[in-house]
Structure 1
Amino acid sequence: MGTLVLVEGVTCRYGSGVFAPPAPPTLRLPDITVAGGNHTLLLGPSGSGKTTLINCIAGLQGVLSGRVEVAGLNMRAMSARERDRLRGAKIGMVMQRLHLISAMTVRANLQLAQRLASHPVDNPLIEHLTQVLGIRNKLDCYPRQLSQGEAQRAAIARALVNKPALLLADEPTSALDDKNCEAAVSLLLSQAESHGATLIVATHDDRIKARFAHIVQLGAA
């Protein structure tokens, strides 16, 4: 397959909002090229730019210079609405802040993700994903009734439920014990392979690096 993700010569700034310094330091992100169907691990300690890189690929963070392309589309040239559409159509995300809707059950959160992407609700797929992740018995629970690890697994299921072409995961195993860490990584990899998806995982978790042939090492900032 051809290149699905390209990051080249990208710089951006740390910090945002009221409490940011007047001139936040500039961060230079590593150049990466990821072919469609391949799996890449972004490995590095906290503060090394992993989350920033994931956010740039997803079009959630602006850049000062360089190129960020997904599926041949220049993210810098797209409007916010166009980036939203691209994420809904092609990108599944597991972020550090899980963003589960507190007023909805796990099942309803997953169903909503399908509807927002204009996909039909696929209850058998929802049950399969949650069964593999060990949270099928939590489908009718609300996020407040879940442990941190259970909530993280629900977020992984939500990212997979639309069978995305590009799957981005930011610290997907950080709250999981060894058994559930292995289950989560296996599910991410198996689903990516089953659907020809490109998987990019950002983590500081050395437990999972043996599962990836392509590793981009990020140094401390």
Structure 2
Amino acid sequence: MSDTIIELEGLKLSLPSAAGLVNILRGIDLKVARGGTAGLVGPSGSGKSTLLMVLAGLERPSEGRVKVAGEDLTRLGEDGLARFRRDHIGIVFQSFHLVPTMTALENVAVPLEFAGRPDAFARAETELRAVGLGHRLSHYPGQLSGGEQQRVALARAVIGDPEILLADEPTGNLDQTTGEGIIELMFALHERKGTTLVLITHDEKLAARCGQVIRLRDGLVEQAEAGAA
């Protein structure tokens, strides 16, 4: 098995706008080690979130090669990309994206229910207890604090034991103390499950905790360096 889980070559992505074609990613070459941690930093508009969407198979590149978890995403159709996400990827966004009419337990169980897993609810309870929400299983998102909702979202992202966890500013809607708690949970889950963690952040100290720090500017990798990990 390769020790590289993400490999990008000449990655470009352009999207139409009212002002014409916008070049968001302009030729990215990048490798991320299997089981490692990578912090993506850069100013707003540098392409960080778009890059994460490409890694998740939610955006198609205009040019280049995108190999993630052994799959060449440019060769997959929509059904193939959906299976790829189900089998390999967990995603945590700044906004929690929980279903308001479902309990915490139901929200977390959804991915395994769609996969036809009979143990969906048992696994969901295990993951919620792992993030400290064993006492909130039957609560709805509207009954939970922001930090609790993000922990539910994190439990949902990792319930399928993804090889890669992608996190896009996961503490952006949280206060500092609550956000720090979410980050500690993410690194603990990375350690416990051996998941590769790719994290977008504006926090330089947080990025430096990662084994690799990737700096984007104007749709290009300005610098890729080792972090403190």
Same fold (TM over 0.5): yes
Structure 2 residue runs of 5 or longer lacking an equivalent are 220-229
The residue type paired with residue 20 of structure 2 is: A
8 A contact 1:152–1:175 mirrored in 2 = no
Residue 195 (structure 1) shift: 1.9
Q: CA deviation at 1:208?
A: 1.5
Q: TM-score, normalised by structure 1?
A: 0.87
**For residue 72 of structure 1, what is the aligned residue in structure 2?**
70
Structure 1 residue ranges without an equivalent (≥5): none
Give the match's secondary structure for 2:190.
Answer: helix
The superposition leaves residues 18-67 of structure 1 with CA deviations (integer Å, 9 ceiling, x where unpaired) of: xx326231121532201211110101222111110000001100111011
Secondary structure, aligned partner of 1:24: strand
Name the stretch that deviates more: 95-104 or 77-86: 95-104
Whether 1:168 and 2:166 are equivalent positions in the alignment is yes
| Distance (Å, rounded) in 2 between the aligned partners of 1:88 and 1:123 | 16
**Residues of 2 paired with 1:148 and 1:186: CA distance?**
16
Distance 1:111 1:100 in 2: 12
Checking the alignment, whether the CA contact within 8 Å between 1:174 and 1:205 is kept in structure 2 is no
Is 1:7 matched with 2:4? no
Measured in 2, the distance between the counterparts of 1:144 and 1:45 equals: 32
| Contact map agreement 1:6 1:69 (CA 8 A) in 2 | yes
Which residue does 2:52 correspond to in 1? 54
User: Retained in 1: the 8 A contact 2:150–2:182?
Assistant: no
- Percent of paired sites with the same residue: 35
The 3-state SS of whatever aligns with 1:31 is: strand
Whichever residue aligns with residue 105 of structure 2, its letter is R
- In terms of mean alpha carbon deviation, does 62-71 or 205-214 score higher? 205-214
Which amino acid is the alignment partner of residue 9 of structure 2?
E
SS in 2 for 1:93: strand
Deviates more, 1:122-131 or 1:89-98: 122-131
- Could you say if the C-alpha distance between residues 191 and 13 of structure 1 is closer, same or farther in structure 2, counting changes exceeding 3 Å? same
What is the rounded CA distance, in whole Å, between the counterparts of 1:208 and 1:77 in structure 2? 34
Residue matched to 1:190: 188
- Deviation (angstroms), 1:87: 0.5
Partner letter of residue 149 of structure 1?
A: G
State the Cα RMSD in Å.
2.1
State whether structure 2 residue 202 is matched by structure 1 residue 201: no
Corresponding residue number in structure 2 for 1:83: 81
User: 1:153 — aligned with what?
Assistant: 151
Normalising by the residue count of structure 2, what TM-score does the alignment of the two structures yield? 0.84
The number of residues matched between the two structures is 214
> 2:128, 2:155 within 8 Å by CA — same for their partners in 1?
no
Contact 1:106 1:139 in 2 (8 A): yes
SS of match in other structure, 2:20: coil
Q: Which amino acid aligns with 2:177?
A: K
